[in-house]
Amino acid sequence: MPFSIATWNINSVRLRMPIVERLLVEHAPDVLCLQETKVPDELFPEKAFRKLGYEHIAFHGQKGYHGVATVARRPIEVVEKRRFCEIEDSRHLSVTVRAGGKAILLHNFYVPAGGDEPDPVINRKFKHKLDFVAEMNAIRAEHDEVSGSVLVGDLNIAPLEHDVWSHKQLLNVVSHTPVETENFEAMRLAGNWVDLMRLNIPHEQKLYTWWSYRAQDWQASDRGRRLDHVWSSPNLVPDFAGYEILRLARGWERPSDHVPVIARFDLD
């Protein structure tokens, strides 16, 4: 059986626990990385995960905003809960998990959205986002013969032309502006990360993981963006067995505006 990692911006884990349970029952990833959990650590719904066989739980949360959590069916060990931009806002968690004889360093990220105005001079949220991505240059794809790295999460940037429904119309919209996409790609390359979701998918093919709540009919309009990402160290590429974007989850009851992405590796 392949080793699988799911990533999902859940937009409040307690509010959407029923659809989290549905994902775990129907798809049973070995590890689930959640973003925007919106819950302080002491109130994280551990019992619900343990009941479904996810006994190994790590979280980095706060009340009402942000937050990341990683739950697994196999042992994990917390490595770091890194603070970015000297702000305590619960946007990163890294753990190690063993698979196929390798120790996998797994980073779970929730990058700031950046607000509405793509100008760092007048919009402090956008400046924070750019500063955050700049600090991510220090996150490297560490690997050797017996270890590798995976980075997943809601990175809140759609870097390529066909990662958005309209490149031309979104060039001045936060998440796809040139300053974001250029810095994002420079950061990925600096860390020696491989974009697994585009590894075997032509850049001309549309690829989305997010559809706005503002759309009356998200499926018909299909104005999506690829904001959620799965990267790995180069040595894990031969073990990569593909991925699935669970588009149908956008239509589940009380959905998140993001959908899960499940990546699989032939490591077991």
Q: What is the pLDDT of residue 151?
A: 98
CATH topology of domain 3-265: Deoxyribonuclease I; Chain A (3.60.10)
Q: Which of 30, 60, 92, 110 is flagged as catalytic?
A: 110
- 36 known member of a binding site: yes
Is pTM beyond 0.75 here? yes
- With a CB cutoff of 8 Å and minimum separation 6, the contacts of 216 are none
Structure tokens at 160: 């390529």
Q: What is the DSSP string of 48-117?
A: HHHHTT--EEEEE--SSS--EEEEESS-EEEEE---BTTB----EEEEEEEETTEEEEEEEEE-----S-
**Length of the chain in residues, anyone?**
268
- Longest CA–CA span in the chain (Å) reads 51
- Determine how β-strand 68-72 pairs with β-strand 56-60: antiparallel
- 9 known member of a binding site: yes
- 200 known member of a binding site: no
Mean pLDDT by 10 residues, the chain (268 residues): 93 98 98 98 98 98 97 97 96 97 97 97 98 98 97 98 98 98 98 97 96 93 97 97 98 98 92
Q: Which of 66, 107, 154, 229 is flagged as catalytic?
A: 154
Structure tokens at 244: 């699935």
Q: What is the pLDDT of residue 73?
A: 97
Give the integer Cα–Cα distance in Å for 86 and 268.
Answer: 39
Q: Which of 128, 176, 229, 258 is flagged as catalytic?
A: 258
- 257 known member of a binding site: yes
Strand partners, 69: 34, 59
Q: Is 110 among the residues known to form the active site?
A: yes
Give the integer Cα–Cα distance in Å for 143 and 20.
Answer: 31
Residue 135 exposure: Cα atoms within 13 Å on the Cβ side: 17
